[in-house]
Amino acid sequence: DVQLVESGGGSVQNGGSLRLSCAASGLTLHYSIYHMAWFRQAPDKEREGVAVIDGGGTTAYADSVKGRFTLSRDNAKNTLYLQMNSLKPEDTAMYYCAARAVVGGPQKLEPRVYDYWGQGTQVTVS
């Protein structure tokens, strides 16, 4: 079975930093085939895309996190990272890792196109 396991969430003060990780296992294709993304969902709000990275390391970010968050991946370790700096209270949400098997397609931050999801890790900024 495919598993995406997030870690690194927690509570930080306004302006603080956190680094989220997402370890993937059980994928049927090579990890580098998958576009990997982070989404977040705050209470009573829709799930929104935060950042996405393709197998070659090209990234795209939501406008709300550009310049503050950095997405990276280690294909040898099947692991995705999200470095979050200058955190704001509005970044408070459950953060989810997602995977999508794509060959040559564009990066997308639409939840409906992702095949696999993790259980989430909570980030609280106060």
Q: How many C-beta neighbours within 10 Å does residue 34 have?
A: 26
Could you give the C-alpha distances from 48 to 32, 44, 51, 53, in angstroms and in order?
A: 23, 12, 10, 15
pLDDT tens readout for residues 4-63: 999 999 999 999 999 999 999 999 888 988 999 999 999 999 999 999 999 989 999 999
d(CA 36, CA 38): 7
53-99 per-position pLDDT tens digit: 999 899 999 999 999 999 999 999 999 999 999 999 999 999 999 99
- Rg of the chain, C-alpha, whole Å: 14
Mean pLDDT of the chain: 96
